[in-house]
Structure 1
Amino acid sequence: MEERWFSTSEIAAYLGVKQDKIYRLIGTEGLPAHKTGRFWKFRKDEIDAWKGKSTPAGKKGKSKPKPDLLSRLGFSFEKGGVHTARTMMLKELETLLAYVGSPEAEKKDYQRAITDENCLGKRSAKSRGLTFRHLADLYSLDRTCLLFRALLFFWSRDLPGRPLLALLCAYARDAILRSSASFILEHPESSTVSRESLEELLDGLEPGRFSKATLTSTAQNINSTWTQSGHLRGKAKKVRTQASPTAGSAAYALLLGYLAGARGQGLFSSEYAGLLDCPPEKTVELAEEASRKGWIVFKRVSDVVEVGFPNLIGPEEKERLREQN
């Protein structure tokens, strides 16, 4: 029986590293990988052989890694995610941000709006508390967090881009949602995406972890999120459709790729740019539009591309990124 291909998220889990490190290992450590369209695929036997060559006999790894910069910027690599219980909660996020209405609001202000003032109309104190926790897990709701601060920046400036903005932020913070991306994006347009096939994918990632009921509800939540973002349509029957990227969502995707270590042309082929569901050429056009609006800095001379984010990345964050690179 031919060995199946593994996705980036699966190999990251297998190696016990964060997904973004996989891309660095491909470029710097020769991690064996195969590019199929916009995505990397892996063979487990090749990874096992690479592990044997890359780890000298008797040499122990570091027992305690240094604090991760990406986590401080807002990325999350915790096992599991909100999607076992909820979707990306786009309507709740829209209502909450409109109700609070200030980019200077603190996390406690969002909590008070949900739990004390019940701006989302939840029936019980318990459901209000759970709603706040889920939204905080998905989006941080902390303006000191770069991912959330940048989300707010584009949220107020690019209304049509909100579904993709929410997806990008949730993707960077929810491992279960990330694990479904390749499965959804690789479906041809107009093809059916069944809940059962997504259940099979989730069960294959961690066999036996989820009960049948949890698999079903998680698959429904994931399909609903991809419907909210514009990648799927339909209620009972989900059909693959093309999302509608905007200048703001493209700029946010480029920012996430930049924070994860991509530079130059690599920004337009990152996993975050892939969520825009459009060719790199279209992403370039949207980046140029975002630059004309003053949201980002985009420069291109022939094949040399430079993208900057002076409105979004603060001096301290810029210094940390420089040290990491």
Structure 2
Amino acid sequence: MGPFDDRDIVSGHVPGGTNTSHTVAIGHLTSLLSAVPKASGLADYETAAVEHNVLGRATTEGRRRTFRYLRELYLLDPSRVMFRAMRDLWDEDEQSQPLLAGLSAMARDSVFRASAAGLLALGEGTEATAGMLTGFVQAAFPNAYNEGTAAKIGRNTASSWTQTGHLRGRAKKTRQAVEPRPAALAFALLLGHLEGARGQSLYNTQWTAFFDVGVREIEAMAGVAGQRGYIELRSGGGIVEIGFRHLLRPMEDLANE
């Protein structure tokens, strides 16, 4: 396998994903990453979740099911560059963690991604209902889901966007802006890079739209990410170059971590 497995970012044109049956489960992800050292492998994450029950599930089947959802959304495998990059950035800034998780979930779950464009376009303070989110997904994947599954998708995506910080409230959810963070932005830029964007075009992708700010704010935050060593940023004469020397380091370096 090369440094990037093209299965990491799933196609946005094929229906399916964890949000058809579950949410992005950021709380469980946080518990798992807190319990397992950064240098660990996939088997260590599974052992922690299933055998040691760090997720606090009542039954073995519940532990396995929750771990399966987490693996679908986040990979949990340091030999996959997307997870390794997220894990690299995870401990840099606790406030970035819901954003990092949300970006990974968008990359891994086409249903969650399908809900994003409509949700992110809502003005701050606008009510966001489960039915509205169902509609966003149905517009992307017409006739893909029966009524019951479509309704569940609406409820799950509403909860997922609340976990990322884009919605607030319980019975009534309203849109709120998230605060962009340098570590999370570095991950968003990496996702754009993995999809083929380069230079200044990295500032205007579906991944940077996640942050509720304009291109100027993205540029400024990228400068901070560069200063902190998350990315390499060079600009001059109207040309922007963004590199990912650390986040895309060779997989052979895993043996030394």
What TM-score, normalized to structure 2? 0.91
State the one-letter code of the partner of 2:25: M
Superposition pairs of residues 295-314 of structure 1, within 5 angstroms: 295-314=230-249
Task: Name the residue aligned to 1:179.
Answer: 114
Deviation per CA, 1:161-205: give whole Å up to 9, x if none.
111100111111101001111110111111111212222333344
Q: 1:129 to 1:292 in 2, by over 3 A?
A: same
Counterpart pick for 1:92 among 28, 46, 50: 28
Asked if 1:76 corresponds to 2:76, the answer is no
Aligned length: 250
Unaligned 5+ residue runs, structure 1? 1-66, 318-325
Which whole-Å CA distance do the structure 2 matches of 1:222 and 1:175 have between them?
A: 11
TM-superposed deviation, 1:230:
1.4
Task: Name the residue aligned to 1:132.
Answer: 67
Secondary structure of 1:121's match? coil
Task: Name the residue aligned to 1:278.
Answer: 213
- Give yes or no for contact 1:72–1:145 (8 Å, CA) kept in 2: no
Counterpart pick for 1:216 among 151, 159, 163: 151
Measured on the aligned residues, the alpha-carbon RMSD in Å equals 2.0
- Give yes or no for contact 1:195–1:216 (8 Å, CA) kept in 2: yes
* Deviation larger for 307-316 or 153-162: 307-316
Which whole-Å CA distance do the structure 2 matches of 1:69 and 1:117 have between them?
A: 31
Task: Name the residue aligned to 2:137.
Answer: 202
Identity fraction in percent:
34
TM-superposed deviation, 1:282:
0.9
- Give yes or no for contact 2:3–2:248 (8 Å, CA) kept in 1: no
Which whole-Å CA distance do the structure 2 matches of 1:290 and 1:73 have between them?
A: 27
Unaligned 5+ residue runs, structure 2? 253-257
TM-superposed deviation, 1:104:
1.4
TM-superposed deviation, 1:79:
3.6
- Give yes or no for contact 1:264–1:304 (8 Å, CA) kept in 2: yes
Higher relative contact order (CA 8 A, sep 6+): 2
Which whole-Å CA distance do the structure 1 matches of 2:235 and 2:135 have between them?
A: 43
Which whole-Å CA distance do the structure 2 matches of 1:162 and 1:181 have between them?
A: 18
TM-superposed deviation, 1:281:
0.9
What TM-score, normalized to structure 1? 0.73
Give the 4+ runs in structure 1 shifted more than 4 A. Answer: 67-71
